[in-house]
């Protein structure tokens, strides 16, 4: 039995946003197991209709959801409105992806009958998501799971439970049973218990590499349980051979500091051609100095809000000091703007001369700069990481981009676009510590149903032509 009370707080003020009991994992999974056969037996068209009704419920709650996300994450209201709109759009994307990625196929073969390919749902899926995207991220996992015929036990981040609760209410208002989509509130212990539960058939996880690796290790001895990991990255943005310094600087700032650097796809490392370094870095610094840091509902609207909590702010501050004391050169200092709450200025540090650069995901507005002399060195620096989520090249020729695309290890590779630019019709995932080759977004459908191949005849017809004794 679960016990205890959970509280989520506003990063911008410290005020409580949501209070509720910790969920009971065993009870939720048992309820889901009982609900699954009836849900899976529904016609596919019924499930499609219900998730479309869910999209309409999201539209009706647009303002309330955007406000709640802004309060729980500290992100500006203009940005959280975009997240709700993105979540609505992901429903139709999931419908298209299911038809594309898991369509039924049949190949006739005359007297040999036919070969068929169909897909089956796994059963009960655990969906575990972070606070940085408390609505769009779970929608991108839950909706494909439901369309495929799975039921879902959803464990959101303990720091954004209010947004998750309202999201789940939208599923229920659309006519999707409260046993088909359930939310269990809780912290890391509940997340571990859910992922490892014997009656869970698969885990769709979005979050840090540390937690994702722990889940993968815990379930490694059970090959029958699906594990799809969408983790972070030490993402590079490379600026090369371009006269458009101002445009390049905007792309760097957008990549590094949007959402206070709290996207899995945020740029952590700026790799710049030495000949461009002084001009580009000065332009990036000048633009970063102009960014407004503030609370979600401030007027004028801020570009970025606080990081998630004081612990995250303290960790980023310590990381900046570490880089500085081990050979880094401050270009723009990381400043704690509020003693009580986790507001940080965007920070830039040149780590070109550091002997050993830590290969970690610094989840916040902290950009490391490395200057290199040749394109081969830029590619080597981009690949100098155990992660491999995304990378971007700004500038360069088509030939440079072709070389960059072919040699850089990442699941998303962009040209003259921010690192977090992504098409809804494409997969999102990485290699190394960024994922386990089960990309999300459009390809989430692949993780929500497994293929079943069949050889079929409408009547038995067989014979043995060799190796029989004469009668």
Instruction: Choose the catalytic residue: 230, 283, 361, 381.
Output: 230
Instruction: Report CA 112 to chain centroid distance, whole Å.
Output: 45
* pLDDT the model gives residue 109: 67
The confidence score (pLDDT) of residue 315 equals 98
φ/ψ bin of 438: left (φ > 0), alpha (ψ from -120 to 50), beta (otherwise): beta
Judge residue 300's burial from the number of C-beta atoms within 10 Å of its C-beta, 0-12 exposed, 13-18 middle, 19 or more buried.
exposed
The predicted pLDDT at position 471 comes to: 82
Catalytic annotation present for 456:
no
**CATH number for region 235-415:** 3.40.309.10
Other CB atoms within a 10 A radius of the CB of residue 372 amount to 20
**CA 276 to centroid of chain Cα atoms:** 33
Q: Out of 61, 72, 83, 264, which one is annotated catalytic?
A: 264
Which residue, among 98, 181, 100, 90, has the nearest Cα to 135 in the 3D structure?
A: 90
In this predicted structure, what is the pLDDT of residue 455? 87
Contacts of 462 (CB under 8 A, 6+ apart): none
Can you state the percent helix, strand and coil of the chain, rounding each to 5? 40, 20, 35
Q: Is 390 a catalytic residue?
A: no
Strands 124-128 and 151-155: parallel
- CATH assignment of 5-231+435-456? 3.40.605.10
Per-residue pLDDT of the chain (471 residues), as tens digits, is 456 899 999 999 999 999 999 999 999 999 999 999 999 999 999 999 999 999 999 999 999 999 999 999 999 999 999 999 999 999 999 999 999 999 888 877 666 778 899 999 999 999 999 999 999 999 999 999 999 999 999 999 999 999 999 999 999 999 999 999 999 999 999 999 999 999 999 999 999 999 999 999 999 999 999 999 999 999 999 999 999 999 999 999 999 999 999 999 999 999 999 999 999 999 999 999 999 999 999 999 999 999 999 999 999 999 999 999 999 999 999 999 999 999 999 999 999 999 999 999 999 999 999 999 999 999 999 999 999 999 999 999 999 999 999 999 999 999 999 999 998 889 999 999 999 999 999 999 999 999 999 988 888 888 898 999 988
Domain boundaries along the sequence of the chain:
5-231+435-456, 235-415
This prediction has a pTM of 0.95
Instruction: Decide: 129 and 207 in contact? Cβ < 8 Å.
Output: yes
């Amino acid at each position: 039995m679960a016990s205890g009370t959970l509280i989520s707080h506003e990063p911008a003020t410290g005020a409580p946003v949501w209070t509720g009991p910790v969920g009971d994992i065993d009870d939720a999974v048992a309820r889901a197991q009982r609900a699954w056969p009836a849900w899976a037996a529904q016609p596919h068209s019924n499930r499609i209709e219900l998730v479309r009704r869910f999209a309409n419920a999201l539209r009706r709650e647009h303002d309330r959801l955007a406000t709640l996300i802004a309060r729980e994450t500290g992100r500006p209201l203009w940005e959280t409105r975009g997240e709700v709109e993105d979540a609505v759009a992901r429903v139709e994307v999931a419908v298209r992806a299911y038809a594309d990625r898991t369509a039924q196929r049949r190949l006739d073969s005359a007297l040999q009958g036919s070969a068929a390919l169909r897909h089956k749902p796994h059963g009960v899926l655990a969906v575990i998501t972070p606070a940085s995207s408390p609505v769009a991220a779970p929608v991108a996992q839950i909706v494909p799971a439901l369309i495929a015929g799975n039921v879902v036990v959803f464990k959101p981040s303990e720091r954004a439970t209010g947004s998750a609760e309202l999201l789940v209410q939208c599923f229920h208002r659309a006519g999707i049973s409260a046993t088909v989509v359930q939310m269990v509130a809780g912290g890391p212990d509940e997340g571990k218990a859910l992922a490892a539960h014997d009656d869970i058939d698969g885990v769709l996880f979005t979050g840090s590499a540390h937690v994702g690796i722990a889940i993968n290790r815990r379930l490694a001895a059970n090959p029958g349980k699906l594990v799809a990991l969408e983790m972070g990255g030490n993402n590079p943005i490379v600026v090369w051979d371009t006269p458009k310094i101002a445009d390049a600087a905007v792309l760097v700032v957008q990549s590094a500091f949007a959402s206070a650097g709290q996207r899995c796809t945020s740029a952590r490392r700026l790799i710049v051609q030495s000949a461009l370094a002084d001009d580009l870095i000065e332009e990036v610094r000048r633009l970063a100095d102009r960014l407004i840091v503030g609370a979600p509902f401030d007027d004028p609207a801020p570009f970025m809000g606080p990081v998630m909590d004081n612990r995250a702010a303290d960790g980023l501050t310590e990381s900046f000091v570490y880089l500085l004391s081990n050979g880094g050169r401050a270009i723009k200092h990381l400043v704690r703007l509020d003693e009580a709450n986790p507001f940080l200025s965007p920070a830039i540090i040149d780590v070109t001369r550091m002997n050993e650069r830590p290969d970690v995901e610094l989840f916040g507005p902290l950009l490391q700069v490395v200057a290199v002399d040749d394109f081969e060195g830029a590619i080597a620096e981009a690949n100098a990481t155990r992660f491999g989520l995304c990378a971007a090249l700004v500038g360069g020729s088509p030939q440079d981009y072709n070389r960059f695309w072919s040699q850089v290890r990442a699941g998303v590779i962009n040209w003259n676009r921010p690192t977090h630019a992504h098409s809804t019709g494409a997969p999102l995932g990485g290699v190394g510590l960024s994922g386990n080759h089960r990309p999300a977004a459009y390809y989430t459908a692949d993780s929500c149903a497994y293929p079943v191949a069949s050889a079929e005849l409408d009547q038995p017809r067989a014979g043995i032509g060799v190796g029989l004794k004469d009668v």
